[in-house]
Amino acid sequence: MVSGTKLHRVASLDVVRGLMLVASVGVNSVINASGQSEHHPWNGVHLIDLIFPIFVTLTGAGIAFAYVRGISNPRRLVRRVVVLTTAGFVYGALTTANWDPATTRVFGILQLYAVVILLVCLAHIWIRTTLGWVVVVLVLTAGLTLLHTVFMVHCGGMVTRECNPSLTIDLQQAWLAHTYHLGESGHDPEGLVSMAGATLQASVGALFGHVILNARAAQDRVTVVRRLGTAVSLGLVVLAAASILLPVLVGAEPLPVMKRLWTPPFAVLTGAGTGVVLLLAYLLIDHGDSQERAARLRPLEPLLALGRNSLLVYFGSHVLNALFRQWGWVQPLTGTPWEHLFPVLSILAWTALAMVLNRHRLYLRA
């Protein structure tokens, strides 16, 4: 596919984003989080742990589509990173009720997101083929697996809160006051180690984005998706298995599939799962002429609207829920029928807002 080719927007990407946002708003609106609506304390994965990685994977795919359409203005990229980083400090202050510069989280979730976007966009300046992104994913997985393996050996064969790469690399005394929970968790889920894992996550998304771009350029898109998509998906599963087992070869335990340290097998497996869903959605939605696509998308308008305003809905819902808790507005609902209705009402409210904004073509973009 030649850079600058005029292509219609990949609607399936917005629809899958919309599905992710329904899950995000619902899970994060649970008043008394427990079980799957609560982040796993350490070595494991709950449903809520998958939401942001899926968001990052879809961002990687979106970057692949944008750069093939010729959207590569460096000033736009710099502005996007600056806006996201600045918004990240405000977002962190609002959600934690902490406006003290002495303990402001430097590596917040939006700052992490900004760095990932910067790295994947810069990589797209030189790497714009499926094979190129296969190499990127392989190199990042190998490098991060090696890093975690070295630390596992150093830590006696396993990673713990008291011995892990994030504890050593991220939680430095010089900026300990600016990290997640001031370092009390024994790791920083928004630090350099997690940024590397998130960059791998977005790169897997970019890889699937290029699979779809190959299909769009071919006469038989179904065959391309079936063959190339299957090869990429199976290859990623094998790659994840290899990263899990590598530490075993040097006498350590298998590398955990965990979000807390954003390990390579976690990034690759969640990215592969998200990519497969995206490919299936592409086959079901993005075909036919403009009128056929419009008719097919009409009943999917709520998901489409959510997906097109994903930045607003994802981070906006987090801020609103945090403020509701700080102001004590939701706790009185505990033990009443409204406790279980609140997540449903939140989903409906954000969907309605997204649909209104979509009909007026108003979108929050960095």
Tens-place pLDDT, residues 123-140: 998 898 999 999 999 999
Burial annotation 202-213 (CB, 10 A radius, 16+ → b, else e): bbbbbbbbbbbb
Tallying the residues shown for the chain, one arrives at: 366
Confidence of residue 4 (pLDDT cuts 50, 70, 90): very low
**C-alpha to C-alpha distance for 110 and 366, rounded to whole angstroms:** 11
Query: If you average pLDDT over every residue of the chain, what do you get?
Result: 93
- Whole-number percent of the chain with pLDDT over 90: 80
Does residue 140 sit in helix, strand or coil? Answer: helix
Going by C-alpha positions, the residue among 135, 119, 142 that lies closest to residue 264 is 142
Tens-place pLDDT, residues 311-332: 999 999 999 999 999 999 999 9
- Position 2 scores a pLDDT of 37
- Position 5 scores a pLDDT of 41
Report, as an integer, the average pLDDT of 205-217. Answer: 96
What is the torsion angle, in degrees rounded to the nearest 10, for the CA atoms of residue 27, residue 198, residue 87 and residue 32? 20
Six token digits for residue 336: 């009443």
What is the torsion angle, in degrees rounded to the nearest 10, for the CA atoms of residue 306, residue 225, residue 195 and residue 136? -150
**How would DSSP label each residue in 46-114?**
-HHHHHHHHHHHHHHHHHHHHHHTT---HHHHHHHHHHHHHHHHHHHHHHHT---GGG--SS-HHHHHH
Map out the domains of the chain as residue ranges: 11-359
